[in-house]
Structure 1
Amino acid sequence: MRPMSRRTFINKSSSVTASGMLFHPLNFSTYYPMKKNHFDVIIVGGSYSGLSAAMALGRALKKVLIIDSGKPCNRQTPYSHNFLTQDGVPPHEIAQLGRSQVAQYSTVQFFDGLATEGRKIADGFEITTSNKEQFTAKKLVFATGIKDIMPTIEGFSDCWGISILHCPYCHGYEVRGAKTGILLDGEEAFEFAKFLTNWTEDLTLYTNGKTSLSPEQVQQLKSLHIKLEEKEIQKVEHEKGYISQLHFEDGSTAPLTAMYAHIPFEQHCDIPISLGAELDEQGYLAVDEMQKTSVEGIYACGDNTTRMRTVSNAVYMGAMTGMLLSKEIIMEEV
C-alpha cells in the first residue's frame, strides 16, 4: 500500500470468506448514489484500527474511503502476540486478511496513497493526498499511529520490533529467561526494571551515560539482582535484527539476547493537529470516551491516541469508533 501516481480504488462485489462461504454484499450505490469523491467518512490510516472502524461503518451501510500509505509502525515485527485467535501470526498477514474482509462491503473503498493536507469545508472536510487527489467527507477518522524516534545508536533501528522491544506482554514470553537489557533511565527505568523481573532473572539496566537514579534506588535494584551499566552505547551488533551483543564507546562489549526500550515518538500524521485537534500531555491525540477529538466531526483511534500499543487494542478501538460514529451519522440524518 505505497503512495501511487494514479488513483487506486478497490471495491469487491463478491468474494469468498475465510470460512469458504461465498459472500454477496448488496450494491448499496443503487440506493445511495455517491457524489464523486464524497463520502460519509474518510478514514486516514488503513491498518488494524482503521480497518476495524471501516468494517463497523460498512456494516452500518455508510460510504467510507480508507486512505493508507502502507507504513504501519510494526512493519518490522515478525509475529504478533497476545491477540486471541491470531497469536503468533505475522502482523502483515492479519492486516491483509482484515483488508480482504473489509473489501467485501461495497460501500467501503480504498485509496493507496499518503494523505498530506486537510481542511474544513462547509459540509465537512476535504483531504488532499501527496499526488493532489482530493476527497471530501462529513466526518474524519484518524487511525494513523505514531512515528518512533530512534536513538542515534548504530543498529538500533534495525532491531526495533524484532529483538529491541517495547512491551513484555507482546513479546516477553518469547524471550523469557533470556539475557535481557533495558535502555532507559530515571524513575520510569526503576519501575520498569522491577516489573521485568517477572520474565527474566538475567536483567541489566543500561542508562547510556551516568544514571539519575538515587543511591537507594540503585541498591534496591541490586537487591533484586538487576545489574546497572552506565557506559555509553556505540553499537548494537545483530543478525537480521536479532541482537548478539552491545558495543560501548570505550571499546568493551556485552552479550545480549533482547532489550526493552521506551523511546520518544511523534504523531505519524499532522493533519489532525493542523485542523485544531489537541494533544494530551504525553503527545497522543486527546479523545473522549466516544473517541472524539477536540474538533467536532473528527474521531481518532489506535496507537495515535493511547500508550496501550497492541494489535488487539487497536482493533477494539477501531470497532468502537466505527459503531459510535455510524450512530452519530444515523441520528443526524433522521
Structure 2
Amino acid sequence: MTEYDVIVIGGGAAGLSGALVLSRSRWRVLVLDDGTPRNAPADGVHNWLTRDGLPPAEIGRIGRAEVTGYGGRVRDTRAVGARALPGGGFAVTTADGDEVTTRRVLVTTGLTDELPPVDGLAAHWGGAVFACPFWHAWEFRDTRIGVLSTGPHDLMKAHIATRWSTEVTLFLHTGPEPDADQWAGYAARGISVVDGTVTGVTTGADGALTGMRLGSGVVVPVDALTVSPVARARAGFLDGLGLAVAAHPSGLGDHLPADPGAATAVPGVYAAGNVTDPMATVPAAVAAGAQAAAAITRDLLLADLDAAVAAARDGFSAGAERACADAVAGDRVHGLVP
C-alpha cells in the first residue's frame, strides 16, 4: 500500500490546480514544493481574468489553502529523485532525506529561465526586463521599449511591442539578420534597429533601467527591455525513471514531453504546465493542471476497477469451489456418493 494516490511535484499554478482537482476527488494527495516559482520576480500576474495583478506569492498562498482545505497535504521541500517500485507505484526522494510512495506522479516543476549573458540584465529581471510583452509591457506603456534579439522569434516581437509604445528599438545583438521584407516592415512602423552586440545595461541614480550599452561603448536609451530567455525544464530528478527532457518545438529551450492527456513516456507519470511548455501562461498552466488531474483520476479509477473485478472473480471462484465441496460432502453424508 502506497502512502498517497498522487504526489504532485511542484506547487506553482499547474501543480496546485491539479492538486485541488485531485483533493476534491477525494484522492490522497501530497504536494512537494520548494517555493521557487518561475514568476517569483514579477510584481503580479496579468491577463488572468478575475486575478489580474495578483502577486505570485499570494497565488501560492491561496492555492495551498484551497488544497489543504480539501484534505490535500503540502510539504515545503524539493524532490531530488524518483524510482519505480517493483509492485507498482513510485517512490519519491526529497531534499530533506525522506522517501514517500505514491500510485501516480504529477510533475509540475516548471522551468528555469536562462537570461542572455548581458552584464546587469538579471538585476532588472521581472521588472523592466521581461519576457512577454502581453503580460508586462502595459506597465511600461508609452516609454522607450527595447527588444533584445537572440533568435528568429524576436524579430516579430519588435512589432508586438508597438502595441504599447511608439518608441521601439530592436537590438539585433546575437539574433539573425532581418530579410528585405522585415527591414521594410521596421521602417514602415518606425521601429529603430540597432546593429552590434549588447554588452551591458545602464541605470540611473534611482536604479531604474536607462539604456543598453553596445560593444562599441555607445549607449542606446531604453526604459524597458523584452528578452527571450532559454527555458530549462526542472526535471533532472526524473533520471531514475528514464525520463529526459527534449528540445521544445518553439526553439525557446527544452521541455518534458507529454501527450495531450498529460501522460509522459512512463505509465503513471504525468506532467503539466511550464515543464512541458515554456510558452504556457499562468491561466494555461492552471487549465493544464486540472486536465492532468482528470486524466489521473480516470487512470486510478480504471486501475481500481480492474483490481475490484479481479478480486470479485477470485472470490467467485473460491466460493464456487467451497460450494461444490460442501455439496459433495453432503451427498456423502446421505449415502449418494460411494
Structure 1 and Structure 2 fold alike (TM over 0.5): yes
Shift of 1:215: 4.4
Identify which of 97, 105, 108 aligns with 1:140.
105
Matched residue, 1:7: none
Question: Structure 2 stretches of 5 or more lacking a match?
Answer: 249-253, 306-338
Q: Is the 8 A contact 1:237 1:245 kept in 2?
A: yes
Matched residue, 2:200: 235
Shift of 1:40: 0.6
Of residues 202-211 and 97-106 in structure 1, the stretch that sits farther from structure 2 once superposed is: 202-211
Matched residue, 1:150: 115
Name the structure where helix makes up a greater proportion of residues: 2
Of residues 93-102 and 208-217 in structure 1, the stretch that sits farther from structure 2 once superposed is: 208-217
Matched residue, 2:219: 253
Any idea what SS the aligned residue of 2:92 has?
Answer: strand
Q: Is the 8 A contact 1:68 1:114 kept in 2?
A: yes
Shift of 1:97: 0.9
Q: Which has the larger radius of gyration?
A: 2
Shift of 1:214: 2.9
Deviation string for 1:277-321 (max 9, x for gaps)? 354541222111211112111100111111433211111111111
Matched residue, 1:223: 188
For residues 166 and 45 of structure 2, the distance between their equivalents in structure 1, rounded to whole angstroms, comes to 24
Q: Is the 8 A contact 1:183 1:208 kept in 2?
A: yes
Of residues 183-192 and 285-294 in structure 1, the stretch that sits farther from structure 2 once superposed is: 183-192
For residues 4 and 172 of structure 2, the distance between their equivalents in structure 1, rounded to whole angstroms, comes to 50
Deviation string for 1:125-166 (max 9, x for gaps)? 111112221011111110000111122212211212211111
1:311 equivalenced with 2:282 (yes/no): yes
| TM-score, structure 2 as length reference | 0.82
Matched residue, 1:78: 43
Shift of 1:220: 2.8
For residues 289 and 175 of structure 2, the distance between their equivalents in structure 1, rounded to whole angstroms, comes to 42
1:164 equivalenced with 2:129 (yes/no): yes
For residues 186 and 320 of structure 1, the distance between their equivalents in structure 2, rounded to whole angstroms, comes to 32
Shift of 1:234: 2.4
Shift of 1:274: 4.4
For residues 247 and 78 of structure 1, the distance between their equivalents in structure 2, rounded to whole angstroms, comes to 26
Aligned length: 298
Q: How does 1:88-237 map onto structure 2 within 5 Å?
A: 88-106=53-71, 108-122=72-86, 123-208=88-173, 212-237=177-202
User: Against the structure 1 CA distance between its residues 83 and 124, is the aligned structure 2 distance closer, same or farther, given a 3 Å change threshold?
Assistant: same
Shift of 1:207: 1.9
Identify which of 286, 298, 307 aligns with 2:269.
298
Any idea what SS the aligned residue of 2:73 has?
Answer: strand
| Matched-pair identity in % | 28
Shift of 1:241: 7.4
Q: How does 1:260-271 map onto structure 2 within 5 Å?
A: 260-271=226-237
For residues 205 and 221 of structure 1, the distance between their equivalents in structure 2, rounded to whole angstroms, comes to 9
User: Against the structure 1 CA distance between its residues 242 and 42, is the aligned structure 2 distance closer, same or farther, given a 3 Å change threshold?
Assistant: farther
User: Against the structure 1 CA distance between its residues 64 and 241, is the aligned structure 2 distance closer, same or farther, given a 3 Å change threshold?
Assistant: farther
For residues 170 and 274 of structure 2, the distance between their equivalents in structure 1, rounded to whole angstroms, comes to 27
Q: Is the 8 A contact 1:246 1:254 kept in 2?
A: yes
Q: Is the 8 A contact 2:145 2:169 kept in 1?
A: yes
User: Against the structure 1 CA distance between its residues 94 and 177, is the aligned structure 2 distance closer, same or farther, given a 3 Å change threshold?
Assistant: same
Question: Structure 1 stretches of 5 or more lacking a match?
Answer: 1-34
Identify which of 29, 35, 41 aligns with 2:6.
41
